[in-house]
């Protein structure tokens, strides 16, 4: 399973990429492989206030609906518009075109408490 | 993430790992599933493959070519003896009298209130020998119920541990099995040999495709499975898990016991009246069914299809007409064949007819849907 070094990870299998005050969030390769067959993604409203570790989106595979938790607090700055017509991008490119949403960080230090790639790799048994 | 929102996932259950004692049974094919990299889930007390590569791919394999499923979790009960027919007619809803030797019949076992204990297929093997294939989660309950009702010269045997079972389903399934001999006709059963192993082959299934269900000694589990996958390679055969089994059966509106059928619902409410012979003088549950027929049904199990793009439908979603809640889904998914949300659910009878427009509540948002004729998916001829 792919676990890029330059990202941080939540125990609940989301990744986060911080660029200044904005963070991009998606689900990990491990998570998409566990789900497979993602057929629907429900994203938050742009402008919505998110709280760290609270449900922010829903990813649905053929089998089941899964909550996606925002690893950080802040305001939704952007959501991935491609996922409405092509939710399978989350399966095929989880760290790239399958990103879910961007957050304007209200507590940037929250990012530092997330797992490193090495720590997350251990969690998933890689 | 990884938290199931649907309170009743159709094949839900916890994945067991690092457990000190096994809480899930393993089929004779468990090692084969592991070798193939299957993702396993708990279902009906069994640790079963939910998919090998992808539910969508496995679904298409069955619709277009052939898929091979491990269904060893299902139970087999043998009933024999001079009074077997009479006894079975008293515990099952369909008419065993109408069953010729080698034929099979879909039927139900009801409680005293007319609710469903289990749905099953009964095959007549010989004059006084019957072979029942029951749901995995219900083996013990069915057997105990049947034992409590034994009358006359009847022997009852739970053979579930003896048999491995496979479903070989899809338009190319006859091509795969023809290599072993003549095939039974629809709903019939006959014995073939695969690698010298005696295999009961029934032309039945749970997918809406032509297909077969195979029953053979558990000790030969992996041998037959691997032989079929090997020969099936040339036909584009896939191993298939319970995920595809569930989407396939939903498209053709076959009910799943525990979801669409329950002890609180009668076969009449479930639209299975065809498999209940009320002309029989007596069978468990007959009285309440007659009464229900007379007073009229309150709800009926219908097939629903979303009108447009929506999240996949799931069990327990509410169904509305205007402000009125008219029912609830008992199964749902996104149909891999038609790419749209589909489901089964019980609706108040005044709304339970094809063409009825409804709304389905998905996490507080309403999506338009229509009650459809069953099945939801039909093969193009």
For residues B88, B90, B93 and B98, what is the CA-based torsion angle, rounded to 10 degrees? 60
* CA distance, residue B343 to nearest chain A CA (Å): 13
- Which strand (E) or helix (H) includes residue A32? helix A29-35
What does DSSP say about strands B238-240 and B67-70: parallel, antiparallel, or unpaired? parallel
**DSSP string over B5-66:** -SSS-TT--PPP-S-SS--SEE-TTHHHHHHTTPEEEEETTEEEEEESS-HHHHHHHHHHS-
The residues of A whose Cβ lies within 8 A of any Cβ of B are 12-14, 27, 31, 34, 36-37, 39-40, 42, 58-69
Query: What are the residues facing B306 on neighbouring strands?
Result: B369
pLDDT at B379: 78
pLDDT at B380: 64
pLDDT at B23: 80
Tell me the mean pLDDT per 10 residues along chain B, length 381: 37 41 86 97 94 97 98 98 98 98 98 98 98 97 97 96 98 98 97 98 98 98 97 97 98 98 98 98 98 97 97 98 98 96 98 98 97 91 49
CB count within 10 Å of CB A17 equals 17
Contact A36 B334 (CB under 8 A): no
Length of chain A: 126
**H helices present in B158-312, as ranges:** 173-177, 221-232, 242-251, 286-295
Q: B8-33: b or e for each residue (b if 16 or more CB lie within 10 Å)? A: ebbbbbeeeeeeeeeebbbbbbbebb
Q: Using CA atoms, how far apart are residues B334 and B319, in angstroms rounded to an integer?
A: 17
Contact A39 B2 (CB under 8 A): no
Q: pTM to 2 decimals?
A: 0.93
B92 inside 8 A of chain A by CB = no
Weakest mean pLDDT among A38-52, A68-82, B11-25, B203-217: B11-25
Looking at the partner chain, which of A31, A42, A62 has a beta carbon nearest the beta carbon of B1? A31
Strands (E), B30-173: 39-43, 46-51, 67-70, 75-80, 104-110, 116-126, 129-134, 155-158, 163-169
pLDDT at B8: 34
Mutate to test the interface with B, among A63, A88, A124 (most CBs of B within 10 A): A63
What does DSSP say about strands B163-169 and B39-43: parallel, antiparallel, or unpaired? unpaired
Q: What is the per-residue pLDDT across A97-115, written as a single tens digit (0 to 9) for each?
A: 999 999 999 999 999 999 9
Backbone angles phi, psi at A123, to 5 degrees: -55, -45
Cis peptide before B150 (omega within 30 of 0): no
Residues of B in contact with A69 (CB under 8 A): 1
Residues of A in contact with B333 (CB under 8 A): 62-63
Contact B371, B355 (CB under 8 A): yes
* CA distance, residue A19 to nearest chain B CA (Å): 23
Q: Using CA atoms, how far apart are residues A99 and A24, in angstroms rounded to an integer?
A: 7
* CA distance, residue A33 to nearest chain B CA (Å): 9
Residues of B in contact with A36 (CB under 8 A): 39, 51, 53-55
In sequence order, the 6+-apart residues with CB closer than 8 A to the CB of B244 are: B51, B55, B58, B59, B61, B62, B67, B69, B336
Q: From B4, B75, B27, B77, select the one nearest B239 (Cα to Cα).
A: B27
B6 inside 8 A of chain A by CB = yes
B197 inside 8 A of chain A by CB = no
Residues of A in contact with B56 (CB under 8 A): 37, 62
What is the CATH architecture of A8-116?
Beta Barrel (2.40)
Contact A67 B1 (CB under 8 A): yes
Go through the domains of chain B in sequence order and give each one's CATH number.
25-71+162-251 (3.30.1360.120), 75-158 (3.30.70.1400), 298-372 (2.40.30.110)
What does DSSP say about strands B357-362 and B318-321: parallel, antiparallel, or unpaired? antiparallel
pLDDT at B20: 52
Domain boundaries, chain A: 8-116
Burial (Cβ within 10 Å: 0-12, 13-18, ≥19) of residue B283 = buried
B187 inside 8 A of chain A by CB = no
CB count within 10 Å of CB B270 equals 23
* CA distance, residue A91 to nearest chain B CA (Å): 11
Q: Using CA atoms, how far apart are residues B179 and B195, in angstroms rounded to an integer?
A: 11
Residues of A in contact with B336 (CB under 8 A): 62
């Amino acid at each position: 399973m792919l676990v890029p070094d330059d990202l941080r990870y939540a125990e609940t299998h989301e990744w986060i990429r911080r660029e200044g005050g904005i963070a991009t969030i998606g689900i990990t390769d491990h998570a998409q492989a566990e789900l497979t067959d993602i057929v629907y993604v429900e994203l938050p409203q742009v402008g919505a206030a998110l709280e760290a570790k609270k449900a922010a989106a829903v990813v649905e595979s053929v089998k089941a609906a899964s909550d996606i938790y925002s690893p950080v607090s802040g305001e939704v700055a952007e959501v991935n518009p491609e996922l409405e017509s092509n939710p399978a991008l989350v399966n095929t490119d989880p760290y790239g075109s399958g990103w879910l949403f961007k957050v304007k960080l209200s507590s940037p230090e929250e990012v530092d408490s997330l797992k490193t790639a090495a720590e997350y790799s251990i969690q998933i048994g890689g | 993430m990884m938290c199931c929102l649907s309170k009743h996932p159709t094949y839900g259950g916890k994945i067991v790992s690092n457990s000190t004692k096994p809480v899930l049974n393993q089929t004779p094919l468990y090692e084969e599933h592991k070798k193939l990299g299957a993702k396993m889930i708990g279902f009906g007390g069994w640790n079963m493959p939910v998919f090998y590569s992808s539910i969508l791919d496995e679904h298409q394999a069955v619709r277009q070519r052939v898929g091979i499923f491990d269904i060893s979790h299902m139970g087999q009960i043998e009933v024999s003896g001079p009074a077997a027919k009479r006894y079975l007619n008293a515990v099952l809803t369909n008419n065993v009298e109408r069953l010729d030797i080698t034929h099979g019949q879909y039927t139900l076992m009801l409680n005293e209130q007319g609710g469903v204990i289990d749905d099953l297929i009964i095959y007549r093997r010989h004059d006084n020998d019957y072979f029942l294939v029951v749901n995995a989660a219900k083996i013990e309950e069915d057997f105990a119920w049947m034992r409590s009702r034994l009358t006359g010269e009847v022997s009852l045997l739970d053979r579930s541990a003896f048999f491995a079972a496979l479903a070989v389903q899809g338009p190319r399934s006859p091509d795969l099995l023809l290599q072993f001999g003549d095939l039974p006709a629809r709903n019939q059963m006959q014995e073939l040999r695969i690698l010298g192993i005696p295999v009961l082959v029934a032309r039945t299934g749970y997918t809406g495709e032509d297909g077969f269900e195979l029953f053979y000694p558990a000790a030969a589990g992996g041998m037959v499975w691997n032989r079929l996958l090997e020969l099936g390679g040339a036909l584009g055969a896939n191993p298939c898990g319970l995920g595809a089994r569930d989407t396939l059966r939903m498209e053709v509106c076959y009910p799943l016991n525990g979801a669409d059928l329950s002890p609180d619902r009668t076969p009449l409410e479930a639209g299975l009246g065809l498999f209940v012979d009320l002309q029989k003088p007596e069978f468990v549950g007959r009285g309440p069914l007659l009464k229900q027929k007379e007073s009229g049904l309150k709800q009926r199990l219908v097939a629903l299809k979303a009108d447009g793009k929506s999240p996949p439908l799931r069990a327990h979603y509410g169904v509305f007409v205007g402000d009125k809640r008219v029912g609830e889904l008992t199964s749902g998914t996104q149909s891999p064949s038609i790419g749209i949300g589909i489901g089964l659910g019980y609706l108040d009878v005044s709304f339970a007819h094809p063409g009825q427009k409804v709304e389905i509540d998905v996490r507080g948002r309403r999506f338009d849907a229509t009650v459809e004729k069953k099945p939801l998916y039909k093969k193009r001829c």
